[in-house]
Amino acid sequence: MASKTASHGFRTFIVVWLGQAISALGSGLTSFALGLWVYQQTGSVTQFALVALFASLPRIVLSPLVGPLIDRRNRRWLMILSDSGAAACTLAIALLLAAGRLEMWMIYGLVALSAAFGTIQWPAYSAVTTLLVPPRSLGRASGLVQMGGAVADILAPTLAGALLGVIGLSGVIVVDFVTFLFAVSTLLLVRFPEVEREPVEVQARGSRWADALTGWRYIRSRQGMFALLMFAAVVNFLWGSVGALLPPMVLAFAPAETLGVIVSVAGIGMLGGGLYMSALGGPRRRLVGILGFELLSGVCFVLMGLRPAAVLVAVAALLAHLTIAVVSGCGQAIWQSQVPPGLQGRVFAFRQMISMSSQPLAYLLAGPLADQVFNPLLVEGGPLAGSVGRILGTGVGRGIGLMFVLMGAIKIGIVLVSTLNSHLRALEDGPVTALSKSEQVYSPAEE
């Protein structure tokens, strides 16, 4: 199959990628503008955070259930369904706002429904990429995906801020709706190769949930893949903590304009990593790329917390975000090359659920740990002011700096321990393995 599609498959992927990248930019516009609108209307950080929570929980809860759909149904039409459903939710928010009837509970519900449709998108997109892109180019494809996300992260806040003053929130949401239509149009223009389905055994009715669990059994029975997934979950927890703590740490010693510059610089770093991956495909040994760049990321975490200096934080944030694109690209290429195409929907769905589940935990823990534990340690006269405070400084926000140093040290330690894991080291050396007899299940969705 790969030999038949290699000549034109990558061009088809480029068309799909362009549509999804434009759609991601539109979604970024709405996400930024809607969050700003909620905060301005309510003045409540809690209600602002609830929007993010409702946007993330459906992806965690529903991921295992969409896996069998992706493996049993036409992936192109599932992506069209995902984009169309999210577009309808976005348009509903715009219409309710224009009618003056938009309330917070409606926002929570529509954001959650849009996220439920979006749960289909990532595993289907990842599985489709494997069908279109030859194995040697998977790193480049992952780099392009990361680059598209980075461009959206850089441009969306600036564009949304400019558009809000001209066309308002309703207009921004309509722009997002148009980008959804563009993504759907690109999917309607292309055709995907047929999936070589894994053989399955017919079991009794009611095996739909058992079929969904096939993805988890596949991961759990392959120790290298399980180790890589647990590594990603821990790393995502640390990155979630960074996302929650970086703004208050910077605002403790610099104005909001400086924070904006640092965020933009970080986006440029991710864009640079995406360009590197898309141009060169990343390191030849992808696991070495993951561990090596995560080691650099750990060092960057330490540097970000070391001193209250904007230039140091900006440089460290740039390099740290560069590693995200490389690590994500290498990891994606490993999963796409190691999982049979007919199983990728179920496997990637569980991968999405587990790797993302640590981030809400980070959001819940980071704030209380900073306020109640670490910041009091490094205030003037605090327990660590005379020791650690001589290096990191004292005052508001320096306890968060200590958290960054500790998180960097933890990440470095995890990388060093992971290099000793023989199953993880051998992950790229083994062939793609299909389901064993005991792992094969049947789902009524196939009928």
Structural domains for the chain: 1-195 (1.20.1250.20), 203-447 (1.20.1250)
When comparing pLDDT for 20 and 208, which is higher?
20
Specify whether the CB–CB gap between 86 and 114 falls below 8 A: yes
**Neighbour-count burial of 3, counting CB atoms closer than 10 A to its CB (0-12 exposed, 13-18 middle, 19+ buried):** exposed
Contact in structure between 18 and 186 (CB atoms under 8 Å): yes
pLDDT-derived band at 2 (thresholds 50, 70, 90) equals very low
Average pLDDT over residues 300-306: 95
* Mean predicted lDDT score pLDDT of the chain: 80
Which letter does DSSP use for residue 369 in this model? I
Q: Which amino acid is at 437?
A: K
Q: Burial of 230 by CB count in 10 Å (0-12 exposed, 13-18 middle, 19+ buried)?
A: middle
320 — pLDDT class (breaks 50, 70, 90): very high
Exposure letters 36-59 (e unless 16+ CB within 10 A, then b):
bbbeeeeeeeeebbbbeebbbbbb
When mean pLDDT is compared over 189-198, 297-306, 346-355, the highest value belongs to 297-306
Is 303 within 8 Å of 405 (Cβ atoms)?
A: no
The model's confidence at residue 108, banded by pLDDT at 50, 70 and 90, is: confident
The reported pLDDT for the residue numbered 16 is 87
Contact (Cβ atoms closer than 8 angstroms) between residue 384 and residue 233: no
The tokens for 308 are 């209250």
For position 100, what pLDDT does the model report? 84
pLDDT at 432: 53
pLDDT at 3: 45
Q: What is the pLDDT of residue 255?
A: 81
Contact, 70 vs 127, CB < 8 A?
A: yes
CA–CA separation, 13 and 100 (whole Å): 41
* Tokens linked to 365: 């823990």
Query: Taking 90 as the threshold, does the pLDDT of residue 426 lie above it?
Result: no
Handedness of CA 367, 372, 373, 378 (dihedral sign): positive
Query: Model confidence at 364, in pLDDT bands (50, 70, 90)?
Result: confident
Among 3-12, 28-37, 57-66, the range scoring the smallest mean pLDDT is: 3-12
HSE value, Cβ hemisphere, 13 Å, CA-based, for 129: 29
Question: DSSP alpha helices (H): ranges in 43-74?
Answer: 45-72
Largest Cα–Cα distance in the chain?
70
Listed residue (340, 180, 154, 173) closest to 260, CA to CA: 154
Residue 365 CB neighbours (<10 A): 14
The tokens 């759990």 sit on which residue?
220
- In terms of pLDDT, which residue wins out, 320 or 270? 320
Q: How far apart are the first and last CA of the chain?
A: 24
Phi-psi region of 9 (alpha: psi -120 to 50; beta: other; left: phi over 0): alpha
Average pLDDT over residues 277-293: 84
Gap between the Cα atoms of 305 and 109, Å rounded: 38
> Quick one: average pLDDT of 416-430?
82
Q: Which pLDDT score is estimated for 312?
A: 95
Residue with tokens 């929130």: 169
Least confident span in 55-64, 138-147, 299-308, 426-435: 426-435
Q: What 3-state class would DSSP assign to 357? A: helix
